[in-house]
Amino acid sequence: MTVRHALVTGAGSGIGKAVALALAAKGHRVSLAGRRAAPLEAVGDEVSAAGGEAFVVAGFDVTDQASVEAGIAEAVGRLGDIAVLVNCAGEAPSAPFEKTGLETWNRVIGINLTGTYLVTQAALPSLKRAGKGRIVNVASTAGLTGYAYVTAYCASKHGVVGLTRALALELARTDVTVNAVCPGFTDTPLLDGAVETITGKTGRSAEDARATLARSNPQGRLVTPQQVAHTVLWLASQEATSITGQAIPVAGGEIMVG
């Protein structure tokens, strides 16, 4: 197969890490983008140990246009034009709407939605040059329905889904596809934050809180990061050439799009 360059934001943990490792296992050169160097370097070591090639783009702040543009230029300089872009950086604080301050609102919208816009806009010329480009935005079931106490997160992920659909139409006559994956409750550090909130407010055990979240999935279990990564792999493949503008739930039947 032709070796292609994939850039993954939020690649230091959770879904981003799983996606980066899966892409590397399929032979992609991977750029690992994020703010903190240590977790990215650990993922890079895993890629290298498995015989792959990784480049760490640390200090990559998706909310800062200059940081994004510099990081993408550096990654392209090291590994060539970006053929696959996976926007995975995200944040999901929980609070009642009336206690969701403007600072929290702006931070969540900035990371989840504006960050996706900034990274995609900066990377798009490279994706077009690479040919058969693939953009995969990691949204959420919160981009397809509503959940209480995460209004900022839901708003941002609905925005990501809307951006995905609109950009897919703009690029439909090119060879760049744009899709979103929408995981349900997934066993990641982000979920740990939701568990802490539940335990702190209710006094329930962490195990009970995790079980409650798992019950929202009709299959009765949490989604794994690897399951999300496999969906990303398919969307990034050449076999998915005719798939664009889609928001695909990975949620055990919790959300059905029809």
The amino acid at 140: S
Q: 24 CB contacts (<8 Å, ≥6 apart)?
A: 30, 47, 50, 52, 53, 54
Cα–Cα distance, 148 to 151 (Å, whole number): 7
Of 117, 147, 149, 153, catalytic = 153
Q: 220 CB contacts (<8 Å, ≥6 apart)?
A: 214, 252
CA angle 63, 226, 105 (to 5 degrees): 25
Helices (H), 141-239: 151-170, 189-202, 206-215, 225-236
**Per-residue DSSP letter, 55:** E
Cβ neighbours around 197 below 10 Å, total = 17
Buried residues in 6-18 as b, exposed as e (16+ CB within 10 A): bbbbbbbbbbbbb
Q: What are the DSSP E strand ranges found in the chain?
A: 5-9, 29-33, 54-57, 82-87, 134-138, 177-183, 247-250
The amino acid at 147: Y
CA nearest neighbour of 152 among 192, 191, 205, 96? 96
Question: Is 153 marked active-site?
Answer: yes
By annotation, the residues acting in catalysis are 153
